[in-house]
Chain A
Amino acid sequence: MKTRKRMVGEVAVIALSGGLDSNSAAEIRDKVTGQLADHEHVVVDFSGVTCVSSASIRAMLLIYRQAQALDRTVAVVGLSPEVRNVLAATGFLHFFVVAGSVTDAVTAVADQKGVNQLERATSVA
């Protein structure tokens, strides 16, 4: 598992690649929550993730919880259909701003209004 961080304007974009098992999930969780302390808006890009475990889904939920506590917004990009389905089936999908591309995600989190619109849309869905 590798992580790569870059800034797009005020937004921290963290791209993940490789397999996500219980060990790497803890690492990701720590990295992303670390970024939340410094940046108001974070985008996590899952496009490069090859396989996921239950631990990685829990890591996402912990990131969400952390973001909520710090009043931060987190957008996710590149969820595999399987992960998306798991999040939808458990009702967790509406916790996240889910975007189709990094550009959309950056726009969504950078524009508070946009965030609200997206959140509403996913809650209704």
Chain B
Amino acid sequence: MNAPRLLRDRIDSFPTHNIAGYGVRPGRSGPFGATLVPGGVNFAVYAGNATSVSVVLYKLGESDPTAEIAIPTDFRIGRVWAVTVFGLEYEDLEYGFRVYGPENAGINDRYDPTVVLSDPYAKVLGGREEWGKLPDYDRQYQHRSRLAFEDFDWEGDRPLRLPNEDMVVYEAHVRGLTRHPSSGVANPGTYAGLVEKIPYLQRLGVNCVELLPVFEFDEFGNSRLNTDTGEMLLNFWGYNTVGFFAPKAGYAATSRFGMQGDEFKNMVKALHAAGIEVMLDVVFNHTAEGNELGPNISFRGLDNQTYYMMTPDGYYFNFSGTGNTVNSNNPITRDFIVSCLRYWASEYHIDGFRFDLAAVLDRDENGVPLGNPPLIQALAHDPILRDCKLVAEAWDAGGLYQVGSFPNYHRWSEWNGKYRDTIRKFLKGDEGMIGELATRIAGSPDLYKGRGARASINFVTCHDGFTLADMVAYNDKHNEANGENNNDGANDNNSWNHGAEGPTDNPEIARIRDRQMKNAMLLLMTSRGVPMMLSGDEVGRTQKGNNNAYCQDSELSWFDWSQVDTNAELLEFASNVIAFRQAHPVLRGAHHPNSIDPSDCGHPEVSWHGTRAWQPDWSPGSRVLGIMWCGHHLDIDASPDYVYVVANSHWDSHDIELPVVDPGFVWHLFADTAQENAGACVLGDEEPLSNPNWYTVSPRSVVALVARPVS
């Protein structure tokens, strides 16, 4: 076979200079970071007001550098220092930058040439390959930049582009999902381990996993001993990014071989093949470099005052509550963030991003909220990110609360904290919740008018706060294991223990807790908007009342897979209600439902009811709401689809008069959370009610009915 002659040699693939024993030539100013080029590696780094920059080269894993290449000032274009270095053993290479600041450096500069800096664009970072292994702090260079090959074989994989409103999101922690000895996977706590649980996710019916931070972080950042137990508390959640372009090495079974990128991509590919999207929880509001006392890892030593919000007297603004605040609307920082997300969308086929403390990203360099934040706008309109979901956690630790008002450009959706609060308050029987409950179930038109229900990410629980099982078993947080005298974590949980704090032998309390978990699931899966559930809630995962398990790399956080058997009934309920949602498009409409009847079918898209049909009781003492969904308005040609949900948070049962729908249609029971040992049936097995006009809804329970022609 005669291969066509390809142009492989460029005349610029030869050195022009020799520095520190290496052939080099003036580099290309972009892309930033280290790039494989014919015969060598191109390094390009933006370094603020630096007077001199060196590339420091290491042989893989060695403490001392093999060479240090001072980039000639002539090689600098603008503020970007670039050099192409030839003859590098790039498979065994680690590199960093040494940056010298000007003599007249300002109060907000942090140049420090004694430190070797990580490349903020590094695609692979060494130094924390094995999760939880105590780092060698004698090594000068901790988070070691490496090159990636980026030649993964995707075999035709494409992002799934599921419509927002069709998603059922499962918020999970890569390590926590399979680290427990009960997981039974070959590589516990890894990306590869998650792949082995895909059949479980499919059985549950979720179609999007939202992963807690997976960018390289240091689990030893702020690690400490629990004074009571002597146990080392690591940063388990990872909301302290060290490298934004590098996947967390300690989550890979293959990090010893530097193949975490391939392992991560294989996970994405396998999830996509199973019809499951991948959303990443990304943390751009702060970094692992901390405050005045924090270490120089990368940004600080490159151009501190560009990347961080600084006070005039040299301190770090702290809108993130974690020490520093990324200056995200600075054009240079903004470009960094946009490039990073483009990289994950294109190189890793990521389907969406959830932005931690996104309200921080609305602030200017002094922390003032902007009406038209350039970063948020740039992400909304970015051509590469156009099909990615963009989800804001629309608040921050500086008191900016933007649920319903986050600048959205018709692109952004939000974690709906008000949905969570309303459902929780309703379930524990608070007064005066019926009106707001209806608003939340309808997709929060008060918050998202003009944006549609698809802008509302509905959730009752997430990694922050109680698990579902703990929400119904504890009145108060129990965070003693975090070693901060129970002072950390939220105090405002809207939870209720139902008569005993924590585990109980009382079967009545256990029954009502089980029912309340099902109530929450059924309401979540029959609300307009995008439901998100917390991993493990479907099997009653407990954190023993800990509502802030960020430092618990232990059985407190890990998914205990024995619960799949011990709580099989709850799992079956969860999977049945998810299937129910997917079977009834009217529950998933992208828009807010009309309460008029524009297509004149006799019923509005949603209608509200009380104990009497068509008579909702909005009074403060009311604890019963009937919701009828009519699918006719979504698709006039489809056979009529009616769903009736009754939510009762009262301590008494109520006889509910059911609305009459089309002639020949009768109500069939899909779910009644008060029914023992089942609660919800498999789709298609719904039985007609014995009394077609009335149903008795038990205390503190939720019922779902469907109308079908009499068989």
The stretch of A42-50, A53-61, A106-114 in contact with B is A53-61
CB distance from A90 to the nearest CB of B (A): 4
Interfacial residues of chain A within 67-100, with CB under 8 A of chain B in the complex: 70, 85-86, 88-92, 95
Q: Is the CB of A89 within 8 A of B191?
A: yes
Q: Kindly list chain A residues whose C-beta atoms are within 8 Å of the C-beta of B257.
A: 53-54, 57, 86
Q: Is the CB of A92 within 8 A of B186?
A: no
A22 at the B interface (CB under 8 A): yes
A57 vs B253: C-alpha distance when bound (angstroms):
14
Q: Is the CB of A89 within 8 A of B187?
A: yes
* Residue from A54, A55, A57 whose CB has the most chain B CB atoms within 10 Å: A54
Q: Known: A86-B254, A91-B270. Is A58-B263 also a contact (CB below 8 A)?
A: no
Q: Kindly list chain B residues whose C-beta atoms are within 8 Å of the C-beta of A54.
A: 91, 257-259
Q: Is the CB of A22 within 8 A of B192?
A: no
* Residue from A86, A90, A95 whose CB has the most chain B CB atoms within 10 Å: A90
Q: Is the CB of A89 within 8 A of B149?
A: no
Q: Kindly list chain A residues whose C-beta atoms are within 8 Å of the C-beta of B1.
A: 70
Interfacial residues of chain B within 150-207, with CB under 8 A of chain A in the complex: 153, 186-187, 190-192, 195
Q: Is the CB of A89 within 8 A of B253?
A: yes
Over the window 257-275 of chain B, the binary record of Cβ atoms lying under 8 Å from chain A Cβ atoms (1 yes, 0 no) is 1110011001001100000
Look across to chain A and name the residue whose beta carbon is closest to the beta carbon of B152: A90
A91 vs B187: C-alpha distance when bound (angstroms):
13
Q: Known: A88-B186, A91-B270. Is A22-B253 also a contact (CB below 8 A)?
A: no
How many A residues have CB within 8 A of the partner chain?
15
B89 at the A interface (CB under 8 A): yes
A85 vs B186: C-alpha distance when bound (angstroms):
8
Q: Known: A22-B89, A85-B253. Is A90-B259 also a contact (CB below 8 A)?
A: yes
The one of A22, A90, A95 that contacts B262, using a Cβ cutoff of 8 Å: A90
- A-B contact count, CB below 8 Å? 51
Look across to chain B and name the residue whose beta carbon is closest to the beta carbon of A89: B192
Q: Is the CB of B253 within 8 A of A86?
A: yes
Q: Is the CB of A89 within 8 A of B190?
A: yes
Q: Is the CB of A89 within 8 A of B92?
A: no
The one of A22, A55, A89, A95 that contacts B263, using a Cβ cutoff of 8 Å: A89
Over the window 1-34 of chain B, the binary record of Cβ atoms lying under 8 Å from chain A Cβ atoms (1 yes, 0 no) is 1000000000000000000000000000000000
Q: Is the CB of B187 within 8 A of A85?
A: yes
Q: Is the CB of A57 within 8 A of B270?
A: no
* Residue from A55, A88, A91, A95 whose CB has the most chain B CB atoms within 10 Å: A91
CB distance from A101 to the nearest CB of B (A): 23
Q: Kindly list chain B residues whose C-beta atoms are within 8 Å of the C-beta of A58.
A: 91, 149
A58 vs B257: C-alpha distance when bound (angstroms):
10
A92 vs B186: C-alpha distance when bound (angstroms):
16
Q: Is the CB of A90 within 8 A of B89?
A: no
CB distance from B253 to the nearest CB of A (A): 4
Q: Is the CB of A90 within 8 A of B266?
A: yes
Over the window 231-270 of chain B, the binary record of Cβ atoms lying under 8 Å from chain A Cβ atoms (1 yes, 0 no) is 0000000000000000000001110011100110010011
Between A and B, 22 residue pairs with Cβ closer than 8 Å are: A22-B91, A53-B91, A53-B257, A54-B91, A54-B258, A55-B91, A55-B92, A70-B1, A85-B187, A85-B253, A86-B259, A88-B186, A89-B191, A89-B252, A89-B266, A90-B192, A90-B262, A90-B266, A91-B195, A91-B266, A92-B262, A92-B266
| Chain B contact residues, CB within 8 Å of chain A | 1, 89, 91-92, 149, 153, 186-187, 190-192, 195, 252-254, 257-259, 262-263, 266, 269-270
**Given contacts A54-B259, A91-B270, A92-B266, could you give 9 more A-B pairs where the C-beta distance is less than 8 Å?**
A22-B89, A53-B91, A86-B257, A86-B259, A89-B187, A89-B252, A90-B262, A91-B262, A92-B262
